Amino acid sequence: MSKTIELAKHLEKLHINNMYKSDFYWTWDKTDEELDAIFTVADALRDLRERNKSTRVFDSGLGISIFRDNSTRTRFSFASACNLLGLNVQDLDEKKSQIAHGETVRETANMVSFMADVIGIRDDMFIGEGHKYQKTFMDAVSEGYRDGILEQRPTLVNLQCDVDHPTQCMADMLHIIHHFGGVENLKGKKIAMTWAYSPSYGKPLSVPQGVIGLMTRFGMDVVLAHPEGYDVMPEVEEIAKKNAAATGGTYKKVATMEEAFDGADIVYPKSWAPFAAMEQRTKLYQAGDQAGIDALEKQLLAQNAQFKNWTCSEEMMKRTKNGSALYMHCLPADITGLSCKEGEVDNSVFDRYIEPLYKEASYKPYVIAAMIMMAKVKDPVSALMAMDAGSKRKLF
């Protein structure tokens, strides 16, 4: 029996009917079994790919990507995922569209969705705006489908918003599951999600929020550490607390990187901007106050510079469990002595973990493909079994 068949049989036991024709906004919108289904299908698709089996569930159609912020890994992961399932990809470049001439979100959403099966959107720059844009876009698509303009309603995959980065955090989680040999081995593992110094100021909060919102669902001991003033959204912290209480894990905040790293099995040191400052930045952009934005940037860079000791150094890594915790990062990292003078992680630490870091990133195309497949394929169990029995992907 192939690995794919074993995974399909596991999938058959899960209660996942509500995933069909659904969107993927935040991980905490999904049940435990629905998250299990994403991991299961991702592993099956990877197994099929490794065995050179065709995984095309579409023979036509589009995956539309809308990146309102820069991206390498997520952009190519989305394109790879769509291609893996048989979809072509079209990137909406807003600078080349009619948006500059006053085209509304409602109009854009319908015009790009005529033959689209999935819409992937990244909008992570401004607190209070990213998720709202995704929701506005998909409400317009739903309206177009209801009114008969669109023959089908494409599904949304959140490629990062101001609240969560589900494709990243699900890929991170799948990496952790495989690294420790299964979900059953995660209970009690300590993961340190810590702020780290960066010479830039505007990094989104959605990765640390996504990590504490997801990892607390697996009985892990999740620790959030940051300097004073670098708080994340309080509502996401409440979700983390409830998750931990429900799964027998823990969630707590500490004031130092050292305490977070002490005895940790996993460390995730990454910079992010203060929540309050990002709220302020959003208001300044909405008001068109460039002078205010420039002043805020100088203020926040100076604030960051007070915490240069918040870095993942060799000494800091020695504090972890047996001095060999799994180092994780969503990439790109600010690497001291390589990409910047002083940053999130020492070059020697980063270089030692390059292989697992790249493996961590490699799960994202399969996670995105699984999200698409679970939303678009009514009977994913039969689909996986047919793929397993089907043709090779290549002629040779």
Q: Does residue 307 sit within a domain?
A: yes
Question: Is residue 102 pLDDT above 80, yes or no?
Answer: no
Confidence at residue 360, expressed as pLDDT on a 0 to 100 scale: 98
d(CA 234, CA 42): 31
Question: Is residue 395 pLDDT above 90, yes or no?
Answer: no
d(CA 248, CA 135): 33
pLDDT, tens only, 6-25? 999 999 999 999 999 999 99
Kindly state the tokens that stand for 322.
């047996």
Residue 282 structural domain: 168-361
Domain match, 329 and 183 both: yes
Domain match, 371 and 340 both: no
DSSP assignment letter at 340? B
Question: Is residue 373 pLDDT above 80, yes or no?
Answer: yes
Distance from first CA to last CA of the chain, Å, rounded? 24
Confidence at residue 201, expressed as pLDDT on a 0 to 100 scale: 83
Domain match, 126 and 205 both: no
Burial string for 196-225 (b: 16+ CB within 10 Å, else e) reads bbbbebbbbbbbbbbbbbbbbbbbbbbbbb
Contact by Cβ (8 Å): 392, 53: yes
Q: Does residue 266 sit within a domain?
A: yes
d(CA 91, CA 109): 13
- For the chain, the residue count is 396
- Mean pLDDT for 94-105 is 75
pTM above 0.85, yes or no: yes
Confidence at residue 94, expressed as pLDDT on a 0 to 100 scale: 81
Question: Is residue 125 pLDDT above 90, yes or no?
Answer: no
Confidence at residue 219, expressed as pLDDT on a 0 to 100 scale: 97
Domain match, 135 and 50 both: yes
Q: Does residue 315 sit within a domain?
A: yes
Question: Is residue 393 pLDDT above 90, yes or no?
Answer: no
Confidence at residue 101, expressed as pLDDT on a 0 to 100 scale: 65
What confidence category does residue 396 fall into, taking pLDDT thresholds of 50, 70 and 90? low
Give every CB contact of residue 189 below 8 A, 6+ residues apart in sequence. 180, 220, 221, 265, 266
d(CA 354, CA 77): 19
DSSP assignment letter at 309? T
Domain match, 179 and 134 both: no
For residue 226, which amino acid is it?
H
What's the total number of domains in the chain?
2
d(CA 357, CA 361): 6
User: What is the percent of the chain with per-residue pLDDT over 90, rounded to a whole number?
Assistant: 92
Burial string for 14-33 (b: 16+ CB within 10 Å, else e) reads bebeebeebbbbbbbebeee
Domain match, 70 and 100 both: yes
Q: Does residue 314 sit within a domain?
A: yes
CATH of the domain at 192: 3.40.50.1370
Higher pLDDT, 174 or 201: 174
- Mean pLDDT for 380-385 is 98
Higher pLDDT, 202 or 128: 128
Domain match, 155 and 197 both: no
Domain match, 345 and 382 both: no
Question: Is residue 345 pLDDT above 60, yes or no?
Answer: yes
pLDDT, tens only, 34-88? 999 999 999 999 999 999 999 999 999 999 999 999 999 999 999 999 999 999 9
Using alpha carbons, select from 3, 35, 34, 39 the residue that is nearest to residue 16.
34
d(CA 316, CA 231): 22
Q: Does residue 394 sit within a domain?
A: no
> Distances from the Cα of 41 to the Cαs of 34, 55, 56, 370, 382, in angstroms?
11, 11, 14, 5, 12
Strand ranges for the chain from DSSP E: 62-67, 88-91, 116-123, 155-161, 190-194, 221-225, 250-254, 266-269, 326-327, 335-336, 345-346
- Mean pLDDT for 366-385 is 98
- Mean pLDDT for 311-318 is 98
Confidence at residue 96, expressed as pLDDT on a 0 to 100 scale: 72
What confidence category does residue 392 fall into, taking pLDDT thresholds of 50, 70 and 90? confident
pLDDT averaged over every residue in the chain: 95
Q: Does residue 396 sit within a domain?
A: no
Alpha carbon 64 to its chain's center: 18
Domain match, 43 and 92 both: yes
Kindly state the tokens that stand for 241.
């607390």
Using alpha carbons, select from 178, 140, 161 the residue that is nearest to residue 39.
178
Domain match, 117 and 199 both: no
Question: Is residue 190 pLDDT above 70, yes or no?
Answer: yes
Q: Does residue 11 sit within a domain?
A: yes
Q: Does residue 375 sit within a domain?
A: yes
Domain match, 118 and 254 both: no
Domain match, 11 and 153 both: yes
